[in-house]
Copies of this chain bind each other. A is one copy, B any other.
Amino acid sequence: MQTIHAQILATGDELTTGTLVDSNSAYMAEQLEMMGVSVRRHVTVGDDMDDLVRALKDIGEQADVALVTGGLGPTMDDLSAEAAAKAAGVDLELDEEALAWIEALFKSVGRNLGRNLGESNRKQAYFPQGSVRLDNPVGTAPGFSLTIGKCRFFFMPGVPREMKRMLTDQVIPRIEEMLEDVTISGMRTICTYGMPEARVGELVEDVADGEPGMKLGLRASFPVIQVKIYARAESKMGVERILDDGTDKILDRLKNNVFSVGGRNMEEVVGLMLKDEKATLAVAESCTGGQIAHWLTSVPGSSEYFVMSAVTYANTAKETMLNVSRKTLMRFGAVHEETVKAMAEGARQIAKTTYGISTSGVAGPAGGNEEKPVGTVCIALATPDDTFVYRFHSPFGERDRNIKIFAMNALDVLRRHLQGLPPPSWAREYKP
């Protein structure tokens, strides 16, 4: 397989000064890596002509392909076209077609915004001689492609949505043409919950050994760890075979900790299973404070199975909203197996749902004691037949992380029940 040396250049003072975190470069790098193109360096410079020209010339000496973002807008700070022309030693010239397009856009959209086409927008129709225009169907700034030194540069907007569209529609096909070996690539995401990233890494580290077309990557999206399989082969079938082989091996290593193959998140997985069962769900949240409801309702169509969550932060609310008896609260306290049992059963009965889940715990920073340190959470799952109750402990000291871990534990308890799996090994089951 030939190797193409790629680099990425992000431009803009908002990036060099740290006002904005650059997520474009990681996105573009991942897309290039998936095509088998290896990214050797990322560079970021501000809106400064000398720095831009220097960076372009420098990359032009080293790389075969470069992706550039930013600097295509109408303002004084937008210098990409001029810098590219300087670095390539050519002039800027007016692209009549682009000008007509920008004018038409302003006639239709600009008038509604009370804006007229000014000299500044006209600037966006000037490109370096010899460049190829890249149309932008979702914004006002067209991009362009130009050779500087030995490198083919693709200049794209800095707005992520516009960059992604231009990259997919116009840049990737052009880079594919540059690849001598036509190979096909694919990617599959396997989502796991319950093990730290380092442990997941140890368990899967040799999966790609002896498989030249397979590469693995780990991505932590707290508290979920994703394992990504990247595959390259001569045919679509070959890619699928590699992805399937990798998936089998990973499932064998990570077992019940895998909750989805293909990238669905926990709330989608749980939602789909509830939908399949024509089951409904009610939630009673104390320490998780609406996090479970927030996740569940972020899935379009969740109203088919999600009926309600009672975020009963105060004990009085646990009584009035969920019919938890004052006796239970007085005797056991808010964070206890008996209390979450009553909460889950109360939620299920009041909302007349198939299932009820509940949480009560100590998210911190205050409120912990020796018996129930910060990180302790009790979780109950009420089903038509029985109520299951567990206690977990999270090793994370931070409130935000604890809330996410607690909420994910509750959804994972439900997920495992719906799939007929045993509860997670890190849960302590409660038998009254």
Contact = CB atoms under 8 A, between A and B. Distances in A.
Interface residues of A, number: 73
B297 A308 contact: no
Given A298-B403, A308-B312, A25 B30 contact: no
A26 B22 CA distance: 8
Interface string A1-34: 0000000001000111111111101111111110
Interface of A is mostly: mixed
B16 A30 contact: no
A219 B19 CA distance: 6
B300 A290 contact: no
A104 to B, nearest CB: 22
A100 to B, nearest CB: 26
A51 B43 CA distance: 13
Contact of A18 (B27, B44, B297, B302): B27
A289 interface: yes
Contact of A17 (B30, B285, B293, B311): B30
A316 B352 contact: yes
A55 interface: yes
Interface string A287-311: 0011111101110111100111111
A16 B41 contact: yes
A294 B300 contact: no
A330 interface: no
A275 interface: no
A46 interface: yes
A110 interface: no
B306 A310 contact: no
A351 interface: yes
A43 B41 CA distance: 7
Contacts of A42: 10, 15-16, 42-45
Contacts of A321: 308, 310, 321, 350-351
Given A310-B310, A311-B311, A217 B317 contact: no
B297 A294 contact: no
Nearest to A297: B289
Given A21-B21, A289-B294, A311-B290, A351 B317 contact: yes
Contact of A320 (B14, B55, B303, B351): B351
22 contacts: A17-B30, A17-B217, A18-B25, A20-B219, A21-B21, A21-B23, A22-B26, A39-B46, A41-B43, A42-B45, A43-B43, A289-B294, A290-B290, A293-B313, A297-B313, A298-B403, A300-B399, A301-B366, A308-B321, A316-B352, A320-B351, A321-B321
Interface of A: 10, 14-23, 25-33, 39-46, 48, 51, 55, 217-219, 228, 282-283, 285, 289-294, 296-298, 300-303, 306-314, 316-317, 320-321, 350-352, 364-366, 399-400, 403
Given A16-B29, A308-B321, A317-B351, 18 more contacts: A15-B42, A17-B217, A18-B32, A40-B46, A41-B51, A42-B42, A42-B45, A43-B43, A283-B311, A285-B290, A285-B293, A289-B294, A289-B297, A290-B290, A290-B293, A291-B294, A298-B399, A308-B313
